[in-house]
């Protein structure tokens, strides 16, 4: 695959499976109208948010290379971001939640490369470069918040999804793409909205990923900080929305102290939020995150952790008490009468690791058909295999060349000739290999001699279960890129003509010489051929403001007589007149 981004000291640490989500920033595709939309939103936001955003916001814009007057280039942002240990890459709209979190864990911001259309200038349901670059980037200049974001990614990327989560992700992604495209048919939009609503109404019990996604939404995207009576904005969704950044601070939006309860509060990306959560400080965010992590299978393991992995049907990992890690798609768990897992099975390519490093000779090529192993203690013996000394192992017949029978609690029986064992760095045995081996549970065969060498993981309990592999190098490809791509907007000939006028005005501004004759000619053309456009007229007015000419008066009168978008025009006029 051709590299579409520049490697630097941060991005070179990204695992290869994340590279497929990165796209080249289509900077040459941004129209002059897109640039004008950026200027309008950013200038209004900076003016307003300087009073109501967290104190890190303004300084953060400078530290992250986000300018008011033009859409940022990834290369430029990265040159500045590396000084605070972060980087940015372009992606195509929403990417799968686990991948999104994993980028964050490596200190990389994913930035949707498209920009909202003028019709969605106040708010867009689709991720865009205003939301990502002007919303997410500035606050990461705060070291405490940046560490929260990194830690969130680290924990969130291990959250186990349900089988419905990916379906919901695809449905929301499609809806956001259709809503942002002005050429989308009403029929397609209606079908997409109905699909999202149906999934939301039948989502069932929230998975770990659904819950941590909620926490992400109510903090990173829509978080407030300070007191309930006088909160400040730090969430990217609010920092990038002209309308909602004002609406959110009114009494019409309920303010709630941020606690773990936010994990079960769902959200609708297509509507303003009816309630928001307020954290007293950034340290509190990390405290709630750790509280949530303590409830995850990542830290609890056990039967429930294995069952969550089976239900997800996705690549996951369990870690046993010895530290050995089994990564694959889990399809079966046998439990005893006390609800303890006594045998676990994967199907298809599986890898074994210790301390997140693949064990030599135990990659997916060695376990292509799957892997199964007993868990627990031997029946009638208080000393677990993992706690046995070399002398103990010899006493119980577990040594090379010995044909032995191991009877585990729960009636799992392993019978075969010991070939070899693997130990960790501390000398604790973590894996035993057998030949001519039979494994049974009661009368059911779990492994037969003709299937080859039997590798048995050693561990008395499952201490962790999480999404993804233990070693990022074990599996060639992890995660899927959506087949539903962001639609490149097709412009009519008339729209192209309008964009050309925007381009002419942009050139005049860049030259820093007010060419009144050309601007007047463009203004006349706008009045006759593009009566619905207001933003370019506002840009012209900004350039001639203060000249006290009839031209200036005519443009102002024209703007004030516009029937549509009066509040947007009014905000722009106030800003110019400042």
Residues 458 and 505 in one domain: no
Which pTM was predicted? Answer: 0.89
Give the model's confidence band at 315: pLDDT under 50 very low, under 70 low, under 90 confident, else very high: very high
Q: What is the pLDDT of residue 136?
A: 87
For a pLDDT cut of 90, what percent of the chain falls above it? 71
Residue where a domain terminates, one of 450, 467, 484: 467
Please determine, for residue 1, whether its predicted confidence score (pLDDT) is greater than 70: no
Domain end residue (candidates: 251, 274, 291): 291
Residue 359 forms part of a structural domain: yes
109 lies in the same domain as 182: yes
Give the residue from 471, 473, 469 showing the smallest Cα distance to 16: 473
- How would residue 3 be classed by pLDDT, with cut points 50, 70 and 90? low
What share of the chain has pLDDT > 70, as a percent? 99
23 and 143 housed in the same domain: yes
- Kindly tell me if the per-residue pLDDT of 512 is higher than 90: no
Q: Check pLDDT > 90 for residue 483.
A: no
Task: Name the average pLDDT for the chain.
Answer: 92
Q: How confident is the model at residue 4 (pLDDT cuts 50, 70, 90)?
A: low
Q: What are phi and psi of 476, to 5 degrees?
A: -65, -40
Is 426 found in the same domain as 500?
no
Do both 181 and 324 map to the same domain? no
Q: Name all contacts of 280-283 with Cβ < 8 Å and 24+ positions apart.
A: 280/225, 280/226, 280/227, 281/225, 282/142, 282/144, 282/145, 282/148, 282/225, 283/144
Q: And the tokens for 512? A: 């820093």
> Is 300 within a domain?
no
Are residue 418 and residue 549 in the same domain, yes or no? no
Count of the separate structural domains present in the chain: 3
Residue 237 and residue 153 share a domain: yes
CA 477 to chain CA centroid, Å, is: 18
Give per-residue pLDDT as tens, 427-453.
889 999 999 999 999 999 999 999 999
* Range(s) of the domain holding residue 323: 317-467
Do residues 563 and 504 share a domain?
A: yes
In the prediction, which pLDDT does 157 show?
96
On whether the CB atoms of residues 269 and 172 are closer than 8 A, the answer is: yes
Tens-place pLDDT, residues 167-207:
888 888 888 888 888 888 889 989 988 998 888 777 778 99
Q: Is residue 310 part of a domain?
A: no
State whether 497 and 459 are in the same domain: no
Residues 112 and 239 in one domain: yes
pLDDT at 486: 78
pLDDT band at 499 (very low <50, low <70, confident <90, very high): very high
**pLDDT above 80: residue 218:** yes
The answer to whether residue 299 is domain-embedded is no
> Domain for residue 1, yes or no?
no
Residue 414 phi, psi dihedral angles, 5° rounding? -115, 120
End residue of a domain, out of 246, 274, 291: 291
- CA-to-CA separations, 271 to 109, 126, 180, 274, 275, in angstroms, rounded: 25, 12, 14, 9, 12
Sign, CA dihedral 179-180-182-188, equals negative
More confident residue, 26 or 257: 257
Same domain membership, residue 244 and residue 191: yes
Q: 326-371: per-residue pLDDT in tens?
A: 999 999 999 999 999 999 999 999 999 999 999 999 999 999 999 9
Quick check: is 544 in a domain? yes
How much is the pLDDT for 381? 93
Q: Looking at the structure, tell me whether residues 221 and 341 fall in a common domain.
A: no
Q: What value does the mean pLDDT take over residues 529-533?
A: 94
**CATH number of the domain enclosing 240:** 1.10.800.10
């Amino acid at each position: 695959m051709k590299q579409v981004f520049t490697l630097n000291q941060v991005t070179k640490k990204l695992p290869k499976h994340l590279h497929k989500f990165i796209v080249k920033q289509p900077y040459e595709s941004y129209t002059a109208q897109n640039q004008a939309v950026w200027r309008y939103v950013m200038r209004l936001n900076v003016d307003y948010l300087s009073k109501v955003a967290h104190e890190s916001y303004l300084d953060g814009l400078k530290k992250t290379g986000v300018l008011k007057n033009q859409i940022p280039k990834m290369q430029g942002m990265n040159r500045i971001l590396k000084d605070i240990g972060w980087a940015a890459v372009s992606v195509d709209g929403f990417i799968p939640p686990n991948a999104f979190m994993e980028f964050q864990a490596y200190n990389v911001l994913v930035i949707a490369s498209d920009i909202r259309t003028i019709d969605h200038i106040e708010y867009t349901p689709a991720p865009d470069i205003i939301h990502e670059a002007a919303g997410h980037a500035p606050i990461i200049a705060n070291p405490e918040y940046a560490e929260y974001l990194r830690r969130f990614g680290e924990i969130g990327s291990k959250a186990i999804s349900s089988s419905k989560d990916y379906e919901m992700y695809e449905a929301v992604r499609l809806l956001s793409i259709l809503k942002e495209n002005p050429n989308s048919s009403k029929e397609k939009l209606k079908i997409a909205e109905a699909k999202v609503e149906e999934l939301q109404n039948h989502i069932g019990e929230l998975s770990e990923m659904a819950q941590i996604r909620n926490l992400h939404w109510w903090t990173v995207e829509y978080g407030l900080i300070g007191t309930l009576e006088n909160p400040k904005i730090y969430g990217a969704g609010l920092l990038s929305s002209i309308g909602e950044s004002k609406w959110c601070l009114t009494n019409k939006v309920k303010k709630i102290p941020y606690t773990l309860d936010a994990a079960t509060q769902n959200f609708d990306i297509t509507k303003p939020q009816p309630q928001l959560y307020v954290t007293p400080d950034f340290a509190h965010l990390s405290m709630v995150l750790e509280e949530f992590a303590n409830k995850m299978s990542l830290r609890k393991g056990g039967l429930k952790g294995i069952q969550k992995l089976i239900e997800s049907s996705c690549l996951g990992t369990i870690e046993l008490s010895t530290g050995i890690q089994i990564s694959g798609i889990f399809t079966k768990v046998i439990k005893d009468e006390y609800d303890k897992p006594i045998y676990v099975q994967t199907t298809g390519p599986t890898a074994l690791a210790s301390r997140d490093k693949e064990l030599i000779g135990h990659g997916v090529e060695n376990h292509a058909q799957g892997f199964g192993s007993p868990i627990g203690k031997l029946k009638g013996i208080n000393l677990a295999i993992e706690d046995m000394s070399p002398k103990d192992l010899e006493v119980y017949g577990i040594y090379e060349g010995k044909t032995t029978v191991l009877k585990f609690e729960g009636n799992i029986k392993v019978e075969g000739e010991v070939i070899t064992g693997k130990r960790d760095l501390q000398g604790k045995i973590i894996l035993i290999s057998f030949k001519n081996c039979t494994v049974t549970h009661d009368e059911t065969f779990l492994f037969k001699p003709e299937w080859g060498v039997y590798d048995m993981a050693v561990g008395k309990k499952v201490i962790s279960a999480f999404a993804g592999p233990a070693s990022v190098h074990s599996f060639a490809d992890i995660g899927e890129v959506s087949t539903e791509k962001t639609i490149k907007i097709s412009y009519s000939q008339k729209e192209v003509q309008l964009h050309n006028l925007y381009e002419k005005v942009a050139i005049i501004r860049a030259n820093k010489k007010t060419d009144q004759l050309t601007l007047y000619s463009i203004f006349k053309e706008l009045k006759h051929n593009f009566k619905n456009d207001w933003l370019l007229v506002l840009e012209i007015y900004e350039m001639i403001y203060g000249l006290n000419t009839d031209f200036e008066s005519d443009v102002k009168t024209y703007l004030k007589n516009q029937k549509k978008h009066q509040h947007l025009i009014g905000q722009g006029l106030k800003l110019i007149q400042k």
